Amino acid sequence: MTKLTDGTRHISGVALLPAQKATRQSVKRYARNLSVRRTTRTAIVQARRAMTTGDADSAESVRNAMRLLDIAARKGVLHKNNASRRKARLAAALQKMEAS
């Protein structure tokens, strides 16, 4: 492996530019997905906290968390079955809280 004058490396005449581009893309994707994951997690935590305290607007916070889970699944941050499972668990917890 030798170094070219522009700083890139090559093996037998083939520059490693595709790998560098893939690295740049993965960094961008990671940053984008991190933002979606954070907002989704925060909404789920807020919904669970609202349910445990018996807050009056806990149904609204659960709806918001479900909406954000759908968005995360649509963007490919979460697998659709993972988002569906989390939504089902939130709905079951809300039903249990409202029944008691």
User: What tokens were used for 79?
Assistant: 């697998």
Distances (CA, A) of 29 to 2, 22, 46: 30, 10, 26
Q: What is the 3-state secondary structure (H, E, C) of the chain?
A: CEECCCCCEEECCEECHHHHHHHHHHHHHHHHHHHHHHHHHHHHHHHHHHHHHCCCCHHHHHHHHHHHHHHHHHHCCCCHHHHHHHHHHHHHHHHHHHHC
Report yes or no: 87 and 66 within 8 Å, Cβ to Cβ: yes
pTM value? 0.77
Q: Which CATH number fits domain 2-99: 1.20.58.110, 3.30.450.20, 3.90.230.10, 1.10.10.10?
A: 1.20.58.110
- Residue 10 has a pLDDT of 60
- Residue 1 has a pLDDT of 55
Return per-residue pLDDT of the chain as tens, 100 residues: 556 566 666 666 566 788 888 999 999 999 999 999 999 999 999 999 999 998 889 999 999 999 999 999 999 999 999 999 999 999 999 999 988 8
d(CA 38, CA 41): 5
What sign does the CA torsion over 80, 84, 85, 90 have?
Answer: positive
